[in-house]
């Protein structure tokens, strides 16, 4: 499964990176996030982190949850996750921030997951579930709302 979500934000790279990496503030900035908790903190944006969000289906919100190893690279800049617990265990996620030279930033989130969920099913079935259901229905839905919320936050200043 490969899911790519991106948007252009009318804000400098550093503001976009800071808002993307400051995950503990996401629940107050992003209403679809239920909680974000560091289980182990190794520094700003780095450690073992538990996240929970809701995937909207009309008036209903389907709860989603995962634990990731997170680290930031301020020099690039990038925010990187490796999912280590939850249905999406084994998924790699990378946020990148590209200065467009006009005061805007292209923010891209890439979710890559080779094997799909670790359920007792044949590999091709697990990959199909990741490609056809989890990626487009859950990952894309939550990631696109997250980008939209971060964009609203940074563009307000």
Taken in order of first residue, the domains within the chain and their CATH numbers are 2-156 (3.30.530.20)
Question: Tens digit of pLDDT for each residue in 16-34?
Answer: 999 999 999 999 999 999 9
Q: Which residues contact 62 (CB under 8 A, 6 or more apart)?
A: 54, 55, 56, 138
pLDDT of residue 60: 86
Question: Tens digit of pLDDT for each residue in 47-64?
Answer: 999 999 999 898 888 999
**H or E stretch including 152?**
helix 140-156
Q: Cα separation of 96 and 20, whole Å?
A: 10
Are 121 and 30 in contact by the 8 Å Cβ rule? The answer is no
pLDDT of residue 143: 98
Is the pLDDT score of 157 beyond 90? no
pTM (2 decimals)? 0.95
The one-character DSSP state at 25 is G
pLDDT of residue 97: 99
């Amino acid at each position: 499964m490969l899911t790519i979500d991106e948007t252009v934000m009318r804000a400098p790279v550093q503001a976009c990176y800071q808002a993307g990496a400051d995950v503990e503030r996401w629940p107050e900035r992003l209403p679809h996030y239920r909680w974000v908790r560091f289980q182990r903190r190794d520094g700003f944006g780095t450690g073992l982190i538990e996240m929970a969000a809701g995937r909207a289906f009309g008036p209903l919100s389907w709860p989603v949850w995962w634990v990731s190893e997170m680290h930031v690279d301020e020099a690039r800049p990038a925010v990187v996750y490796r999912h280590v617990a939850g249905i999406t265990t084994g998924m790699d996620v990378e946020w990148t921030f590209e200065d467009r030279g006009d005061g805007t930033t292209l923010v891209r989130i890439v979710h890559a997951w080779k094997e799909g969920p670790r359920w007792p099913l044949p590999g091709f079935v697990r990959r199909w579930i990741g490609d056809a259901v989890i990626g487009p229905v859950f990952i894309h839905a939550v990631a696109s709302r997250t980008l939209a919320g971060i964009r609203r936050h940074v563009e307000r200043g």
